[in-house]
Structure 1
Amino acid sequence: MSSTSKTQNLREVEVFRHQNQVTNTVVHVNLADITHDESLVRPSPAGNCLNWVLGHLSCIYNNVLPLLGESPVPEQEALRRYDRGSAPITSPADAMKISDLIRVWDESVKRLDAGLAKLTSEKLDQRVPNSPTNNPNETVRSLLSTIAFHQAYHAGQLGVLRRIAGRPGAIA
């Protein structure tokens, strides 16, 4: 691989890292002062609460960590409750405490950034064994691009859910 290609791939990694940092900032701004009870308020007539969305964001990062050479967070089993396709939270007993979810999110973000920082050109081009979009040609690069969009989408959703929970908007 030429030095130009390697430099380009390093720039891609920096873009992924920047997207991770921006998403993390948006998540934290939208979660400011949210109580556990507020995190359980569901939109009407249907949809997921803030608690589920934050757990889902953490679960998605956690699912990709091994692909990046990082260990999943210790709460991996509890996060399965928030995986793609899981049922909405309808009872407080079904939900992790919001303070615990924020801690898990922070650790997932930290581990994801560490994994991204170690990415090589070869790793970016590697095919992934299980594409969440059923793309038979999915690479680490294309998966990371999809995940960046997914995480930003749900980070914005937290802002709407914050208002549904009765809080003022956090991002002007």
Structure 2
Amino acid sequence: SPMNDFTKTLEDMFAFNTRVVRLGLEDLEDKDALHRMRGGEGSSISFLVGHLLASRASALKMVGEDLPEPLGAKAAAQGSEFPKVAQLAREWNEVALRFSEALGKLDAEQVLAPAGGLPVSDQTVRGALMFRAWHESYHVGQIGLIRTELGYAPLRDRLRADIKPEE
């Protein structure tokens, strides 16, 4: 059905971002995760991952799943001390698994339920999830830019190296 196709497409988009963020954290030093661009005024990778954790936790609540606030999300919201990269990566993987499971269980009624407040014309859960996919991809790109600026391998290279032959 078109709705199943839609939810599968969403699952694939979020799964791709899950993988790219995982690869972006795997080789990252703690000090580099805290580096802020634009002369210390911009976001750090730790902030961006915390922000994405908060976004996914919020999306889980929107589809009826409750999740304790990840430490990385709390740090991003409060500007407090960020967890180490290993902790951020653990939280990312845990939240990603919960999010993937929740997306896989969505039915048409849930997807078409009202969910306003976002800058999109489709004010349903479907529109909110589409916006979140775009929003997340935007920040994944920022993570890639910061990594490259710090001398790490570009995420596209890490992704290519991570692709298995059967994929």
Query: Offset of 1:109 from its aligned partner?
Result: 0.9
1:131 aligns with 2:125: no
The answer for the alignment partner of 2:131 in structure 1 is: 146
Equivalent-residue separation in structure 2 for 1:77 and 1:131 (angstroms): 25
The answer for the alignment partner of 1:90 in structure 2 is: none
Per-residue CA shift, 1:2-24, capped at 9, x if unaligned? xxxxx110110101100011111
TM-score for the superposition, normalised by structure 2: 0.83
Q: Report how many residues are paired.
A: 156
Equivalent-residue separation in structure 2 for 1:144 and 1:166 (angstroms): 33
Q: 1:47 aligns with which of 42, 45, 48?
A: 42
Moved over 6 A (4+): none
Matches within 5 A, 1:114-129: 114-128=101-115
1:102 aligns with 2:89: yes
The answer for the alignment partner of 1:161 in structure 2 is: 146
The answer for the alignment partner of 1:3 in structure 2 is: none
1:170 aligns with 2:152: no
Q: Which has the higher contact order (CA 8 A, sep 6+)?
A: 1
SS at 2:27's partner residue? coil
TM-score for the superposition, normalised by structure 1: 0.81
* Structure 1 gap ranges (5+): 1-6, 88-92
1:64 corresponds to which letter in structure 2?
A
Equivalent-residue separation in structure 2 for 1:99 and 1:48 (angstroms): 19
Q: Cα distance 1:44–1:28, how it changes in 2: closer, same or farther (>3 A)?
A: same
Equivalent-residue separation in structure 1 for 2:106 and 2:143 (angstroms): 29
Equivalent-residue separation in structure 2 for 1:67 and 1:170 (angstroms): 30
Structure showing the higher helix proportion among its residues:
2
Per-residue CA shift, 1:142-170, capped at 9, x if unaligned? 00000001111111211111123332323
Contact 1:29 1:171 in 2 (8 A): no
SS at 2:38's partner residue? coil
Q: Cα distance 1:53–1:112, how it changes in 2: closer, same or farther (>3 A)?
A: same
Equivalent-residue separation in structure 1 for 2:73 and 2:26 (angstroms): 22
The answer for the alignment partner of 2:15 in structure 1 is: 21
Equivalent-residue separation in structure 1 for 2:149 and 2:7 (angstroms): 35
Contact 2:121 2:127 in 1 (8 A): no
Query: Offset of 1:78 from its aligned partner?
Result: 5.6
The answer for the alignment partner of 1:70 in structure 2 is: 65
1:36 aligns with 2:22: no
Equivalent-residue separation in structure 2 for 1:51 and 1:77 (angstroms): 11
Per-residue CA shift, 1:40-71, capped at 9, x if unaligned? 11112331011101111111001111222222
